[in-house]
Amino acid sequence: MTAPTLRVRDLRVASPFTELLHGISFDIAPGERVGLIGESGSGKSLTATSVMGLLPQTLTATGSVLVSGIDTNLLAAPERRLNKVRGNTMAMVFQEPMTALNPLMRVGAQVAEIMTIHRTEPGRRQARERAIDLLEQVKLPSPAQVALAFPHQLSGGQRQRVLLAMAMANNPQLLLCDEPTTALDVTVQAEVLKLIKNLVIDRGSSLLLITHDIAVIAEVCQRVLVLHQGTIVEDGPVGRVLTAPQHPYTQKLIAASNLAAVDHRGRLHTLALPAPVPSSPVPSSVVPSRVETDAAAPPILPPYRAAHQSLDLGGLPTIFNEVAGVPVISVRGLSRQYRRRGGGLFSPVPIVHGLREVSFDVAEGQRFGIVGESGSGKSTLLRMLCALDQPSSGTVDVLGQPIAGAAERHLRDFRSQVQIVFQDPMGSLDPRMKVRDIVAEPLHHVDRTEALARVEAQLAAVGLDADAMDRHPHQFSGGQRQRISIARALITRPRVLVADEAVSALDVLVRAQVLNLLADLVDEYRLTLVFVSHDLGVIRHLCDTVAVVSGGRIVECGPTGDVYDHPLHPYTRQLVSATPSIHELTGA
Amino acid sequence: MTAIKPRPGRVVGRGGGATLWAGVVLIGLVVLAAVVSVWWTPFDPEGVFSDSILLPPGSEHLLGTDSFGRDVFSSLLRGAQISLLVGTVAVGIAAVLGVPFGIVAGMSPGRLDTFMMRSNDISLAFPALLLAIIFGAIFGAGTVTAMVALGIGTAPAFALIARSGTRQIMSREYVQAARASGKSGLFIGARHVLPNISGMLIVQASVSFGIAVLAEAALSYLGLGTPPPTPSWGRMLQDAQGYLFIEPLLIVWPGIAIASAVLGFNLLGDGLRDRLDPRMQVKR
Amino acid sequence: MVLVVLRRVGVFAATVIVASIVTFLMLSILPGNAARIALGVHATEADVAAQATAMGLDRPAIVRYLAWFGHVLVGDFGTSTVSRQPIGPDIADALGITVILVLTSVVLALVFAIPFGILTAVRQRKPDGAILSGISQIGVAVPGFLAGMLLVTVFAVTLRWLPAGGWVDPAEDFGGFLEHLILPAIALGSVQGAVLSRYVRASVLEVMRDDFIRTARAKGLGAGRALFRHGLRNAAVPVMTVLGLQIATLLVGAVVIERVFSIPGLGSLLLDKVALRDLPAVQGIVLVLVVFVLLLNFLVDLAFTVIDPRLRSAA
């Protein structure tokens, strides 16, 4: 048996206050592709940065990290020695492609630099030529031009390819990737993952891929390490771990990740184990893991079944999901153009089309998903539906009231009927306000005692105790904050709830809890739900109808199952096939 | 693995301890001098005493006497009053003018915002001290002229900070949520924006206070500040300049006073920035 | 690129016009009757009226502004109400001196601030870094005119190496010119340099935390080389912004320093005219000072465009 490419033994990382990694050990064999999965705060990025020797100065690592061909423990090696290893024997790709490149340097030069540093090319000119080769190998179109571009001229996916080209330049034995595709769109993610896989296979390199998304590991890796609170709790072949997880935490993680597996009420499996709230400053008694609504309302209206249609650019403008009678939301010919800054003096103002001629209905009680990638126009559409922005042309009627172009004073009733839940659990609550004032904010002309009573009841409904009222948002975890956001949205008893990527920033387990809560509340309050997301899985789980948005248009709309299983539009097909999935392996 | 970056408005950590306290102590000394000198100074700092001209430091006159025979220590104590008065009023005027202007600009749509900030940029080309000199030419020199001119001249800095903070806060989802609840711009400005940018405004106020103290000293030195006989540190330097060849120590005392007051406010500002708002950079 | 520059030039011209209007409003409209100010409070109504006609004050404000600004554009700043002499030549002479002083100080400030700021940032956690940082803090708190007096005390009064004040034309005696330039330029430049070094330090500390520095480290560059190859140019961008904003401060600092060293620059001229309440002269000098600030800001903006490729394409 050959020596492993990477051998980590009893790796411990500590801050001055506490230990963060509690002695982890693993090997990676030559050419092996290993995934490291864990929630935020589990220590997975720390593992990679310790291996690279790039920990922040305030943290210390002990244990041993051995890379084949180098006889010293890298944790104890002097900086000079490490500099020879980094970028040469092992290389790393980070999460944020937008900021990982030097904005003032041409990308070709940045790729060439890694070869001149390690003298793997004899001269500057050769390094530059090989940089162009490498850019071609990572499938960038016209690599010679890309080499002369500055980072801001490239998209996120292109930048991540540049970083990959850089990392692979010296044919490293080990490639570390820390959430390499988390910041990317689904279709781009699929291509970059495929590229990573092919590059390491071609060169016989080993891979350590860090991610929070088990489906990504299923696509790329052979083996998976599960990291939970600084300890590796499971280590095994991907197929085995996904289908027959041994450790309770892994079982829970996989159950919560699988958005297709639901119980008899259509809820995700979250109850098998106690909810982990280790670092939460709020006593765990405040956080019941879910609301008991089993006695809940009988099913409401018979769900409205949408027609399955796709965009026909040649013919008449399509009205998607057209509802007979009075729909809750009715959008006709909605367009929004933006003027980009600049132009003016000598050139015409460049116009960006946010939305073009969008028409659709949403029926009472429907759970309407809007799915699209960044820049597709889905956020613009959401802002129009909530009257946070004015359309350039077209109409938006909500509950029979035209809201496009309406003055704010005519929107009072609308405002109480349509409420929003936002994505960012950090940014959606004012850090300077107490929870009671945050939740009571949408109430108008309600006296203080009644408002407080309603806030308390609403917090109870989302599973938070009354003593949460006098706290500030920073005292809550991400999932709890999202519950507060939901409480704020429901306090006016709206008929329509609009959710903007409401679970995208949450860890898998918390995501499952919040999705269940949302589903319960939608039933209980008989809400019409409009759920905007980039995540096809979440939409499929939660929504009965889906509209796929691309390039400012709805390209396809219909019942969720039909659209996903039998996509009509080429873009939808591309999107569905690009979505990483664990279904094949789990057999679900 | 989303890195949580501190934002304006979030109370972060307890950094800046030593710096903060050094600032508080220095400012405390200046305030103490100003308050004590209202009731008591060792000698009268406003007369002319021909029998005690240019005495060296000694047991009777702690820091010596100046060319008019006045006790330097007494003048220093009394001079703190003018520095603090001018600083307080100037920063007050600047905040009252600049902060609402900045918030309104930050909450306004693109064109109005651009217009407001362009006009702000132009007023930045008239620095506070130049404005004070111009006002001195128009209205005659004096304490009130200096305070008002420095206040108006400092306002654009506040507007700049308030506007950039407001832009950040306006992009937050809680502001969107408030708008979606039908809250008015006034409500959003008062309840969401102002409390969340207060940290950076306090930092700016502290730094501006130091600049105002410097500017007041410069104006007094130029003879465009508080008229005699009221003692001020800047004019003590002007008087001392004539006697550089005879008694160079005379510039040291008021120099130390000015530098410690300004240092105090700068340290306080730095300390508060670390504590309230670590990512904010102050622009003057 | 050319379009970007042309746009900037357009904005600059518009800014200058607005600044001139502000200056005119402040010094020609705000004070009230310029004729009375020129003649003093004891003049009779008839004298004031005659003087007003002579000064053209009976014309509407807009006409007076256009006449004034139009003449300024061709170098005619009008006539002093005190000396009855044209103001333009005085301003031209003084401007040359102030420009030399200010530009020398900017260079000195940069030469001092860049290495010092980088050093205090890199040695942040070390004792020497903390001491250097403390020194720069004190430097920020010392007013320029005080620094000037201290320099005079040491180098002119005690050591007698350099003159305590005055000015020599470089065309007449270059050595003497340098001797007279050195102390005021150091006084002005060291204080601005201290301020600037604080910003250099903050900016370098900021950049050291940036992701692309981590990328550079992962490539195999040591911390120091990563900072020098990738960090410093990026750190320069915010420092340039501050430098642009500092120019106004530097210029008023020059006004005071000129008084300390009795240098016949724009600052001394301004203060003399203020003392005489010679408003037409003050108005001309203020306009020149403000346009000087705007011009330097404009040049800094252009330099930005060269450093930062993101601004080149952002038309």
Establish if B42 belongs to a structural domain. Answer: no
Residue B103 has pLDDT above 90, yes or no: yes
Establish if B174 belongs to a structural domain. Answer: yes
Beta strand A553-559 with A309-310 is antiparallel
Identity of residue A191: E
**Band of pLDDT at residue A303, cut at 50, 70 and 90:** low
Alpha carbon distance B118, B121 (integer Å): 5
Domain segments of chain C: what residues?
Answer: 2-73, 88-310
User: Which of A65-79, A314-328, A344-358, A376-390 comes out lowest in average pLDDT?
Assistant: A344-358
> What stretches in chain C show pLDDT beneath 50?
314-315
Q: How far is B212 from chain C (nearest CA, A)?
A: 11
Distance separating the N- and C-terminal Cα atoms of chain C: 8
pLDDT at B283: 32
**Chain B environment of A178 (Cβ under 8 Å):** 1
A to B CB pairs, distance under 8 Å:
79
The H or E element that residue A421 is part of is strand A418-421
CATH for the stretch C88-310: 1.10.3720.10
Mean pLDDT of A43-49: 89
Alpha carbon distance A470, A286 (integer Å): 13
Geometric angle at alpha carbon A559, from A554 and A565, rounded to 5°: 95
Residue A345 has pLDDT above 70, yes or no: no
B to C CB pairs, distance under 8 Å:
129
- The answer to whether A208 touches A240, Cβ cutoff 8 Å, is no
Beta strand A231-237 with A223-228 is antiparallel
User: For the whole model, what pTM was predicted?
Assistant: 0.81
Q: How far is A110 from chain C (nearest CA, A)?
A: 9
Per-range mean pLDDT, top range of A98-107, B148-157, C292-301: B148-157
Geometric angle at alpha carbon B173, from B167 and B177, rounded to 5°: 115
Identity of residue A452: L
* CATH code of residue B223: 1.10.3720.10
Alpha carbon distance A176, A188 (integer Å): 19
Beta-strand runs (E) in B10-166: none
Q: At what angle do helices B233-241 and B249-276 cross, to 10 degrees?
A: 150
User: What tokens were used for A578?
Assistant: 């690009």
Largest alpha-carbon pair distance within chain A? 78
φ/ψ of residue C215, rounded to 5: -60, -45
Alpha carbon distance C16, C23 (integer Å): 10
Mean pLDDT of A33-54: 89
pLDDT at B93: 96
- The answer to whether C264 touches C94, Cβ cutoff 8 Å, is yes
Establish if B41 belongs to a structural domain. Answer: no
Residue A202 has pLDDT above 60, yes or no: yes
Provide the domain limits for residue B209: 81-279
Residue B123 has pLDDT above 60, yes or no: yes
pLDDT at C172: 83
Task: Express each pLDDT in A517-554 by its tens digit.
Answer: 888 888 888 899 999 998 888 898 899 999 999 888 89
Strand partners, A66: A7
Alpha carbon distance B138, B224 (integer Å): 12
Region for C65 from its dihedrals, namely left if φ exceeds 0, alpha if ψ lies in -120 to 50, beta otherwise:
alpha
In eight-state DSSP terms, residue B192 is I
Strand partners, A362: A329
Residue B5 has pLDDT above 50, yes or no: no
**Chain C environment of B263 (Cβ under 8 Å):** 137-138, 140-141
Alpha carbon distance B104, A523 (integer Å): 42
pLDDT, mean over chain B: 81
Strand partners, B71: B65
- The answer to whether A345 touches A369, Cβ cutoff 8 Å, is no
Residue A258 has pLDDT above 60, yes or no: yes
The H or E element that residue A24 is part of is strand A19-28
The H or E element that residue B117 is part of is helix B110-124
pLDDT at A315: 62
Is B145 strand, coil or helix? helix
Nearest to A555 by CA among A544, A538, A569, A565: A569
Identity of residue C275: A
Residue A316 vs residue C96, higher pLDDT: C96
pLDDT at A509: 85
A265 Cβ neighbours under 8 A, 6+ residues apart? A294
User: What tokens were used for B16?
Assistant: 């800046």
Look up tokens 């630099």; give the residue: A113
Mean pLDDT of B36-43: 77
Task: Express each pLDDT in A146-197 by its tens digit.
Answer: 999 888 888 888 899 999 999 999 999 999 999 888 888 888 888 899 999 9
**Band of pLDDT at residue B16, cut at 50, 70 and 90:** low
- CA-nearest residue of chain B to C271? B133
pLDDT, mean over chain A: 84
Q: How far is B130 from chain A (nearest CA, A)?
A: 33
pLDDT at C104: 92
Alpha carbon distance A486, B152 (integer Å): 45
Alpha helix positions (H), C209-308: 211-218, 223-226, 232-260, 266-276, 279-307
Q: How many CB atoms lie within 10 A of CB A460?
A: 15
**Band of pLDDT at residue A585, cut at 50, 70 and 90:** low
User: What tokens were used for B126?
Assistant: 């008239």
Establish if B92 belongs to a structural domain. Answer: yes
- CB contact B222 to C (< 8 Å): yes
Alpha carbon distance A202, A192 (integer Å): 15
- The answer to whether A218 touches A585, Cβ cutoff 8 Å, is yes
**Band of pLDDT at residue B10, cut at 50, 70 and 90:** very low
Residue B195 has pLDDT above 60, yes or no: yes
Q: Do domains A6-256 and A284-391+403-586 have the same CATH topology?
A: yes
**Band of pLDDT at residue B91, cut at 50, 70 and 90:** very high
Task: Express each pLDDT in A128-146 by its tens digit.
Answer: 999 999 999 888 888 998 9
Which residue in C141, C282, C290 is closest to B259 by CB distance? C141
Alpha carbon distance A545, A554 (integer Å): 13
Output the CA–CA distances (angstroms, integers) from residue A463 to A435, A459, A478, A507, C90, in the order listed: 14, 6, 14, 18, 78
φ/ψ of residue A8, rounded to 5: -110, 130
pLDDT at B162: 92
**Band of pLDDT at residue A294, cut at 50, 70 and 90:** very low
- The answer to whether C30 touches C279, Cβ cutoff 8 Å, is no
Alpha carbon distance C37, A352 (integer Å): 58
Identity of residue A167: A
Q: How far is A96 from chain B (nearest CA, A)?
A: 10
CATH for the stretch A6-256: 3.40.50.300
Alpha carbon distance B206, B245 (integer Å): 37
- The answer to whether A278 touches A40, Cβ cutoff 8 Å, is no
pLDDT at A531: 93
φ/ψ of residue A27, rounded to 5: -120, 155
Nearest to A241 by CA among A275, A207, A214, A274: A214
- The answer to whether A222 touches A235, Cβ cutoff 8 Å, is no
Region for C157 from its dihedrals, namely left if φ exceeds 0, alpha if ψ lies in -120 to 50, beta otherwise:
alpha
Contact B138 C279 (CB under 8 A): yes
Which residue in A341, A388, A408 is closest to B176 by CB distance? A388
Q: How many domains does chain B have?
A: 1
φ/ψ of residue C15, rounded to 5: -60, -40
User: How far is C-alpha C124 from the chain's CA centre?
Assistant: 31
Which residue in A100, A104, A346 is closest to C215 by CB distance? A100
Q: What is the CA radius of gyration of chain C?
A: 24
Residue B66 has pLDDT above 80, yes or no: no
- The answer to whether A115 touches A76, Cβ cutoff 8 Å, is no
Whether residue B229 has a cis bond before it, omega within 30° of 0: yes
Which residue in C10, C211, C220 is closest to A86 by CB distance? C220
Positive or negative CA dihedral for A451, A457, A460, A462? negative
- CB contact A438 to B (< 8 Å): yes
Alpha carbon distance C196, C243 (integer Å): 7
Look up tokens 């205090």; give the residue: C120
Domain segments of chain A: what residues?
Answer: 6-256, 284-391+403-586
SS (H, E, C) A419-449: EEECCCCCCCCCCCCCHHHHHHCCCCCCCHH
CATH of region A284-391+403-586, choose from 3.40.50.300, 3.40.710.10, 3.40.640.10, 3.40.50.720: 3.40.50.300
Burial annotation C17-56 (CB, 10 A radius, 16+ → b, else e): ebbbebbbebbbeebeebbbbbbeeebeeeebbebbeebe
**Chain B environment of C210 (Cβ under 8 Å):** none
**Band of pLDDT at residue B35, cut at 50, 70 and 90:** confident
Alpha carbon distance C283, C264 (integer Å): 18
Q: How far is A106 from chain C (nearest CA, A)?
A: 9
Alpha carbon distance A50, A67 (integer Å): 13
pLDDT at A341: 56
Which residue in A341, A430, A488 is closest to B196 by CB distance? A430
Length of chain C: 315
Residue A34 has pLDDT above 50, yes or no: yes
Task: Express each pLDDT in A397-420 by its tens digit.
Answer: 998 888 887 888 888 888 888 999
Contact A488 B172 (CB under 8 A): no
